[in-house]
Chains A and B, each alone.
Chain A
Amino acid sequence: DQQVKQNSPSLSVQEGRISILNCDYTNSMFDYFLWYKKYPAEGPTFLISISSIKDKNEDGRFTVFLNKSAKHLSLHIVPSQPGDSAVYFCAASEQGGGADGLTFGKGTHLIIQP
């Protein structure tokens, strides 16, 4: 049973436009959420995170929004750049901010078209 769901296996966006990646979760005990980016043949790299006490966190071109009542979070990338093409994983933890035993979604392959 998937506790973290990324329902879009892939997403294609034109360069310069906004990319929106979505993630839903079922475990109400999750209190810390992260996005990781992965290039082929490399390990995932941390992108941005958000605690359940917030509903928005911004870092440059990347913003994560959290809607706890809907158990939904999204990652916005604006403007999208070719180097953003990668697989993006949503992850969640119920350790009060701890990274122990992160639960990952299946990932969304983002393709930025020139």
Chain B
Amino acid sequence: GAGVSQTPSNKVTEKGKYVELRCDPISGHTALYWYRQSLGQGPEFLIYFQGTGAADDSGLPNDRFFAVRPEGSVSTLKIQRTERGDSAVYLCASSSGPGEKLFFGSGTQLSVL
């Protein structure tokens, strides 16, 4: 499709496990963003990539969270030693460059039991 694709759409895991969430941005979009939306809250910024490099990772809550974008296209958000408080919808967005409109994917609903 032409939009931002996120997989899986739902992920259920146990406390302490490792998870990877994938984002496939719109083709040609150089900027990629990860957000987290907890129940009853707005999306919360996590990290921003311009090309392959993380231009701003100030929103990552702690060192259990890590994201990569090795070829400047697909990105993976990695969460180690998951905790129940990590349960949320993880949203990915892309844009054609800094300052351009963001296009969001449908998100991955992560549930940590």
Residue ranges of A at the interface with B (Cβ–Cβ < 8 Å): 4, 6, 36, 41-46, 49, 89, 91, 95-107
Other than A102-B43, A104-B43, A106-B42, give 7 A-B pairs with Cβ distance below 8 A.
Answer: A6-B42, A36-B104, A43-B91, A43-B104, A43-B106, A49-B101, A96-B99
Number of interface residues of B (CB under 8 A): 28
Residue ranges of B at the interface with A (Cβ–Cβ < 8 Å): 4, 31, 33, 35, 40-45, 48, 55-56, 58-59, 91, 93, 95, 98-107
How far is it, in angstroms, between the C-alpha of A103 and the C-alpha of B41 when the chains are bound?
A: 11
5 inter-chain pairs at a CB distance below 8 angstroms, sorted by A residue, are A42-B106, A43-B4, A100-B33, A100-B48, A102-B102
**Interface contact B101-A99, CB-CB below 8 Å:** yes
**Interface contact A99-B40, CB-CB below 8 Å:** no
**Interface contact B58-A101, CB-CB below 8 Å:** yes
Q: Using Cβ atoms and an 8 Å threshold, which residues of chain B touch A106?
A: 40-42
How far is it, in angstroms, between the C-alpha of A41 and the C-alpha of B104 when the chains are bound?
A: 12
